[in-house]
Amino acid sequence: MKTSLLRILVLVLLCVMLSGNAAQVPFKDDYEGINRAAGSVLMLLVYDEEEGSYIASGSGFVAFDNQTLITNYHVVEDGELVLAESDEGKTYLLDSVLAADRDLDLAILHFGRDTQFEPLPLNDTGNALRGQPVVAIGSPEGLRNTVSKGDISATFTEYGVRYLQFTAPISSGSSGGALLDNEGKVIGVTSSTMRGDSQNLNFAVDIREAIALYEAARDEQPRPLSELASQTARANPEGDSQGTHTNTSITQMNVQQIAPDAVVLSWNTADRSGIYFVGYEIEGSTYYTYEDTEDLSLVISGLVPGQTYLFYVAESYSGLDEPGSTVSLTLEEAKPFTQRDAHMLFSGLYYIPQGFNPQVPLKEGLATITTAQLQRAREDMELCFLYRLRLEGAQTASAGNCQYTLTTPSGVTYTAEFTYEYEARRDAFIRRADLRGVLDSVMEFEDSFEIGHWTAAVYHDGALLAQTGFEVVPGGLNLDEGRNTKTDAFHATVQTNAVVLHWPRTEGAASYNVFRASAKDGHAFYLGTTHTNSYTDHNAVTGRAYYYQYAPVDGEKSPPLQVTVAVTGADTAYESPTNSIELPLQLGEMAYVGDRYEPYIDPDLINTSKDQTVTGVTLAFYTEGRDFETLTWADSGQALTYYTYDLTIPPGQTMNPGRLSLRKYGESLNEIYVAISAVRLSDGSDITVPQEDLVFSSWTLDE
């Protein structure tokens, strides 16, 4: 039996919301009603009772009676005890479960006593429509009973489970809450949001699934929360949509290629209407991808050019394992990407430490990788497909579908889909894709990394952008190239609405918990657990300051690391103040670099130290031509060049060390990149910056 690989990856969140009684005004405008409803929404704190350790937080709401609470299964699945905090800050114990279903992602918990909470009214009509206003109340990021508003975007069924898609914002900490309609009735249990760059793509399990689950188990006695996994009282309100179908009614299947990476699949049926499940796979693959539709045709995009695909249609999800009707098609080979006179400057595979941007120039990409390196790349190293692309100017930005592929020696291709966007101005763009997700797929379906020749490729809208081959060989780790040299400090790198944390490993620690507070002395809320010494907070908000801590499981928390999420054009690095080392020398903001006939470096050097005299400095520099190609230093073959000045700069003083001629680069010189590589101080000490951590300033030559 094959296993499906979902096309949409959803970041499971902990989310909540609540509703009160129907009001005279629309619920979204009934502020008193919203606040009454918030009184029945609770923030959940999940614990391992035996270990006494805190596991997770989330949300839930009171329904059916004042002793029953609905939440998401994933919120409480690892807990044996749940504390529920009310809007007033009072704590209530939830230690038993009435019903639960992992596939539905629903759990119905039981209080040990009457709570006096008003159960929220539930809408069991299934009359939710696109465009309908909704309200969400929950505890995102531990901010109890936060209210957000939006609309229903879509209703759909997947794996036989009914869902609502909506635009009311939710975040980590909201899962398990209620989505309320404009009458103040719960229509869904908020559960997840789309991962990545997508905006306002949030999802809730239809409340009818929770009602059916409760009705199927209402006469049973609650069991201890530790027995959650044994609670499988699954109701199937849509008959046998999860059952087995013969698929004999699917006829006249036809597939046509309509774009380099897309086809249209059509079929007919004699006696059935409803939801159809469409599966497709690359011939010889160990997994398939699926989508569902109510139509008799489906446009399927994001396919790999040149591959032979097998398509099949079934009347149920389970029917995809033994489909009755199939059709195959070999896609045309990919053509080169030619949009905006595209020119590839370089591409290849590289190990790039988490949270650090690659610097140009780069050494040659990896040609050989050990199996142990690939295992490590799934954890806390990024095996990236990296490329730099030059484009001509355009009236508007270029955007579309980007796809990365890994093909094993046996010919099985694994894919990951992204989007690309390039600004309208003429420029050279450097892009990278972390291949951890693709490597995880390989391990999921093959359990090992096959020895032999692999191929990595990147496509834009089905056109081949770049391709490289590499050898996978048996062996251990050798990660000196590109390895993070800052592991002696707890530090962070700020990206767009994300913070990447990294800390030194603790001997004997198998995993770490990560926490975040909004104030230095504030409560540190649990973010997640990682088996590596790094963690990415994808829910950081631009302009806010956070205080992060990590702790080995069963160990002490680290001192808090303050990080401010500022608006930046490039990633900004933060280190723990007790461990950070700053250069006492800076480049001045302006440096005259001459023209194409007489190019030179002429930077001001500023000694920012209060008590140290600088006695020497080494500059690292490289250059690019007018087509953004990396130039080498005359006949040396060097791309990155170092030059040392012997000088004396007293504390607080600025000095210009004189011009450094760049005529050896030739007349094609256009861009100059300069960084401080090393500083020598009067006490005899030297501060050296590793090559991968150099921070370059750049200047463009005068015409």
pLDDT in tens, 246-296: 455 788 899 999 999 999 999 988 766 678 888 899 988 877 888 888 889
What is the per-residue pLDDT for 314? 86
Residue 19 structure tokens? 């509703």
- End position of a domain, from candidates 312, 330, 348: 330
CATH number of the domain bearing residue 356:
2.60.40
Please check whether residues 193 and 226 belong to one and the same domain.
Answer: yes
pLDDT tens digits along 683-693: 888 888 877 66
CATH number of the domain bearing residue 168:
2.40.10.120
pLDDT tens digits along 80-102: 788 888 888 788 888 788 898 88
Please check whether residues 568 and 640 belong to one and the same domain.
Answer: no
Residue 587 has pLDDT above 70, yes or no: yes
Residue 593 within any structural domain of the chain: yes
Question: 355: pLDDT confidence band, cut at 50, 70 and 90?
Answer: low
Please check whether residues 512 and 634 belong to one and the same domain.
Answer: no
- End position of a domain, from candidates 473, 506, 534: 473
Number of domains in the chain: 5
Please check whether residues 567 and 629 belong to one and the same domain.
Answer: no
Residue 486 has pLDDT above 60, yes or no: no
Helices (H), strands (E): how many in the chain? Answer: 5, 49
Residue 510 within any structural domain of the chain: yes
Please check whether residues 49 and 126 belong to one and the same domain.
Answer: yes
Residue 245 within any structural domain of the chain: no
Please check whether residues 522 and 669 belong to one and the same domain.
Answer: no
Spatial contact of 286 and 445, defined as CB atoms under 8 Å apart: yes
Residue 482 within any structural domain of the chain: no
Please check whether residues 21 and 153 belong to one and the same domain.
Answer: yes
Three-state DSSP at 26 gives coil
CA neighbor of 616 nearest in space, from 605, 625, 626, 624: 605
Measured from the Cβ of residue 241, the count of other Cβ atoms closer than 10 Å reads 19
Measured from the Cβ of residue 607, the count of other Cβ atoms closer than 10 Å reads 22
Three-state DSSP at 126 gives coil
What element of type H or E holds 445?
helix 436-446
Task: Give the structural domain span for 540.
Answer: 491-575
With vertex at residue 320, the alpha carbon angle to CA 315 and CA 322, rounded to the nearest 5 degrees, is 105
Average pLDDT over residues 312-333: 83
CA neighbor of 399 nearest in space, from 433, 367, 374, 424: 424
- The partner residues of 287 in beta bridges, in order of sequence, read 3
What is the per-residue pLDDT for 366? 84
- End position of a domain, from candidates 547, 575, 603: 575
Please check whether residues 324 and 397 belong to one and the same domain.
Answer: no
What is the per-residue pLDDT for 266? 92
Please check whether residues 124 and 204 belong to one and the same domain.
Answer: yes
Residue of higher predicted confidence among 617 and 54: 617
What is the per-residue pLDDT for 590? 61
Question: 563: pLDDT confidence band, cut at 50, 70 and 90?
Answer: confident
Please check whether residues 28 and 168 belong to one and the same domain.
Answer: yes
CATH number of the domain bearing residue 538:
2.60.40.10
CA neighbor of 188 nearest in space, from 218, 222, 153: 153
The pTM of the full predicted model, rounded to 2 decimals, is 0.48
What is the per-residue pLDDT for 368? 87
Please check whether residues 354 and 441 belong to one and the same domain.
Answer: yes
Residue 486 within any structural domain of the chain: no
Please check whether residues 544 and 596 belong to one and the same domain.
Answer: no
